[in-house]
Amino acid sequence: MRVAVQASDLDHRRIDGTRVYLRELLKRFGGLSPETDFTLYHKGEFNPVLAPPEAPNYTPLSLPFPYAWMQTRFALELALNRPDKLFLPIQAAPILMPGSVEVTATIHDLAFKRFPETFPKRDLWKLNFMLEMAVKRADKLIAVSESTKRDLLEFFPSLPESRVRVIHHGFDAEFFGARVGDEVLTPILKSYNLKAKSFLVWVSAPHLQHARQKTRHRSHDG
């Protein structure tokens, strides 16, 4: 079986959750299905931090193109090579693709539909378009939570529930199970003037911190 993977996000310099998601999946796909040939399509060069591992059944294929890559160069490659299956790790899909290809797409988040007022207007059209293409073109949709599944069925009432399956994110047990000794932790806490168990670690984008700083400045100005 031949599986195409849309892996262009692994080229990006910025590391975010959806890119780590794909990287971690690719660490495992090859070993879980050694009889399957995976072609990893991307635009240029992989970010070394996100680069997929080498595997005998992995073929990375770089397809440089400057404009609307998914809808142009990538879509053309699918038409020429016609894989058996296509995995789209983000909620976007080519408008045109061979009908013989079975498509699976992951849907991570519908916050822009639930709270559109919190997103820049210039982004909303693109986000909605990409999502609609994924829902329209994919034979199977992976929702990363029950909440995401409910949102999908609410915003796309004609979408059959049978096409949506909830598969929760995993986690790296080795990484998150590691324990840092006091000899390492104490100097770090001291450098930030912190005491153990007296702080919170925010691991997402820094928007919350920026909002707090703006609020603090406004309250001081008032």
- Asked if the model's pLDDT at residue 70 lies above 90, the reply is yes
Torsion angle (degrees, nearest 10) of CA 44, 59, 79, 88: -80
Determine contact, residues 90/72, Cβ cutoff 8 Å: no
* Alpha carbons within 13 A on the beta-carbon side of 147: 5
Neighbour count for residue 214 (Cβ, 10 Å): 10
**DSSP for 185-216, written as a single string:** HHHHHHHTT--TTS-----S-THHHHHHHHHH
Instruction: Please state which of the ranges 23-27, 179-183, 200-204 shows the lowest mean pLDDT.
Output: 200-204
Q: Which two three-digit tokens encode residue 207?
A: 């928007």
Q: Which two three-digit tokens encode residue 152?
A: 């999908």
- Asked if the model's pLDDT at residue 220 lies above 60, the reply is no
Mean pLDDT of the chain: 92
Q: Which residue has the tokens 């199977």?
A: 140
**pLDDT tens by residue, 148-191:** 999 999 999 999 999 999 999 988 888 777 788 889 889 999 99
DSSP bridge pairs for 5 = 40, 87
Place 103 in a pLDDT band, splitting at 50, 70 and 90: very high
Domain map of the chain by residue range?
A: 2-166, 182-221
Average pLDDT rounded to a whole number, residues 24-37: 97
pLDDT at residue number 117: 94
Neighbour count for residue 6 (Cβ, 10 Å): 23
Q: Which residue has the tokens 């910025």?
A: 14
Percent of the chain with pLDDT over 70: 93
Q: What is the pTM of this model?
A: 0.84
pLDDT at residue number 201: 77
* Alpha carbons within 13 A on the beta-carbon side of 24: 14
Q: Judge residue 11's burial from the number of C-beta atoms within 10 Å of its C-beta, 0-12 exposed, 13-18 middle, 19 or more buried.
A: middle
159 vs 208, which has greater pLDDT? 159
Average pLDDT rounded to a whole number, residues 67-87: 96
CATH class of the domain comprising 2-166? alpha beta
